[in-house]
């Protein structure tokens, strides 16, 4: 049994926890929300999908239908009027610092979620817990962090977790990914590959590749591009826990 604040005994333990938990959140976003739910490039077994859904509930409070709707609209209007979060329209600084606010504005638009969020989970878990009580997950995460790290360090750890996706996904991927980097494909929008070694953000760094072929479950296009999300998918395939529907 872990004692109260036992994980705060050394400074590196909460730092390591944040890094591991943050990467896990990034992976759940790219694999479940993005590649499976939004673009249908891969299907995961319930033994994988349900834990990812629960972790997103705990670490982000994201409602799947809302996230999917916002991202599908982004592809429909990429870097044009109607794009929920384009740095060309709103400014790079605004997207990096306030990307989550643009996301909230988009999902509040009348009819937007129903129009672009079709086909997302509507099972018992979604209807009774993940959607109506999406706030409860992050409260549970707060309680866990406070118990593991104590009141002060635990609150800091939780705060970083809550800012993780608003900064890295809503800010960096949607901002930097449409402003700075290199392009393999001359697509109509301004998407860029942030880095050819796509590990930290689960593969989302290869943003131009993704915009060139959105339905592909594999984001890497060149031999030197490492999409860690695709590596995880291939590993899950070995155990029969993932089925690739389409990959470039």
pLDDT value at residue 1: 74
- State pLDDT tens for residues 122-139: 999 999 999 999 999 999
pLDDT value at residue 132: 98
Q: Which residues contact 17 (CB under 8 A, 6 or more apart)?
A: 7, 148, 149, 157
Mean pLDDT of the chain: 96
How far, in Å, CA of 238 to CA of 74, rounded?
Answer: 33
Regions of the chain where pLDDT drops below 70: none
pTM score? 0.96
- Per-residue CA distances from 75 to 61, 81, 186, 217 (Å): 23, 12, 15, 16
The residue extents of the domains of the chain are: 13-244
Q: How many CB atoms lie within 10 A of CB 235?
A: 11
Nearest to 32 by CA among 232, 240, 208: 232
């Amino acid at each position: 049994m872990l004692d109260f604040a036992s994980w705060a005994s050394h400074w590196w333990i909460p730092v390591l926890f944040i890094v591991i938990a943050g990467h896990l959140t990034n992976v759940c976003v790219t694999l479940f929300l993005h590649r499976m739910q939004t673009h249908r490039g891969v299907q995961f077994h319930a033994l994988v999908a349900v834990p990812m859904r629960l972790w997103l509930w705990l670490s982000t409070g994201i409602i799947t239908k809302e996230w999917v709707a916002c991202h599908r609209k982004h592809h429909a209007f990429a870097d044009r009027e109607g794009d929920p979060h384009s740095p060309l329209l709103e400014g790079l600084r605004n997207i990096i610092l306030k990307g989550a606010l643009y996301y909230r504005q988009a999902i509040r638009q009348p009819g937007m979620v129903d129009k672009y969020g079709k086909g997302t989970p509507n099972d018992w878990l979604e209807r009774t817990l993940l959607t109506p009580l999406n706030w409860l997950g992050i409260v549970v995460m707060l309680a866990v962090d406070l118990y593991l790290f104590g009141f002060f360090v635990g609150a800091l750890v939780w705060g970083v977790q809550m800012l993780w996706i608003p900064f890295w996904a809503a800010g960096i991927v949607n901002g930097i990914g449409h402003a700075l980097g290199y392009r393999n494909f001359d697509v109509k929008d301004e998407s860029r590959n942030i880095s050819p070694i796509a590990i930290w953000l689960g593969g989302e760094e290869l943003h131009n590749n993704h915009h060139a072929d959105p339905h592909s479950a594999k984001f890497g296009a060149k031999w030197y591009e490492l999409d860690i999300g695709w590596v995880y998918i291939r590993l899950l395939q070995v155990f029969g826990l993932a089925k690739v529907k389409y990959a470039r």
